[in-house]
Amino acid sequence: MDEFEKMQAGEWYCCLDPALDTRRLRVFDAVHAHNATRPSARGNIAPELRAVLGTAPDTARIEGQFRCVYGVNIHLGDAAFLNVGCVILDSGRVEIGARSMLGPHVQIYCADHHRDPKLRSELIERALPVRIGQDVWIGGGAIILPGVTIGDGAIVGAGSVVTKDVAPGVTVVGNPARVVTPSRES
């Protein structure tokens, strides 16, 4: 298997590989086109960016100053919304469910670097998926770590660092994120 195939399979791979560099450069150009296009002309997602994403329905929206690495691993549900400055390091599959909202500068990381310092110095990593259910709200500046699943209807407080799975319908806050009793506002 080549390094991209290893990455897609969730196996250990070397992240600095000429073929991966070529893939990333194509995506970086598409991201640049999206971010450089006037919002009135861009629509929900610029065509260049939409072309490199795995799944991006017409109703999904990505605001400017967005960043991603491979694009193909990003799968957006209907009416998913990514606010300004979101970063998705999508070496692994990233699913963002229908009607989920990510606040400004939310960061999603899939790369899990090797624990062995020698292998880490050789840039060996693996890609773990991140799954965000439907109707999730992730507050600005939150960080979602590799391998995390966030259940339907959950809320992640602004600035939280999510290191473990979040059950459906709960609210988590803090670093590391922990469950808090959700308020029942009417």
The 10 Å CB-count burial string (b at 16+, else e) for 131-142 is bbbbbbbbbbbb
Whether residue 185 is predicted with pLDDT greater than 70 in this model: the reply is: no
Mean pLDDT (the chain, rounded): 95
Q: Measure the CA–CA gap between 50 and 59, rounded to whole angstroms.
A: 12
Report in angstroms the alpha-carbon separations of 63 from 14, 77, 111, 157. Answer: 31, 16, 24, 20
Q: What is the pLDDT of residues 41-98, one digit of tens each?
A: 999 999 999 999 999 999 999 999 999 999 999 999 999 999 999 999 999 999 999 9
How confident is residue 184, by pLDDT bands cut at 50, 70 and 90?
Answer: low
Q: What is the pLDDT of residues 118-138, one digit of tens each?
A: 999 999 999 999 999 999 999
| pLDDT of 92 | 98
| pLDDT of 41 | 93
DSSP string, 153-183: T-EE-TT-EE-S-B-TT-EEETTTTEEEPPP
How confident is residue 18, by pLDDT bands cut at 50, 70 and 90?
Answer: very high
Q: What is the pLDDT of residues 23-44, one digit of tens each?
A: 999 999 999 999 999 999 999 9
| Domains of the chain as residue ranges with CATH | 3-180 (2.160.10.10)
| pLDDT of 183 | 52
Whether residue 186 is predicted with pLDDT greater than 90 in this model: the reply is: no
Q: Which candidate in 75, 105, 113, 114 is catalytic?
A: 113
Of 184 and 110, the structure prediction assigns the larger pLDDT to 110
Catalytic site residue 114? no
pTM for the predicted model, two decimal places: 0.95
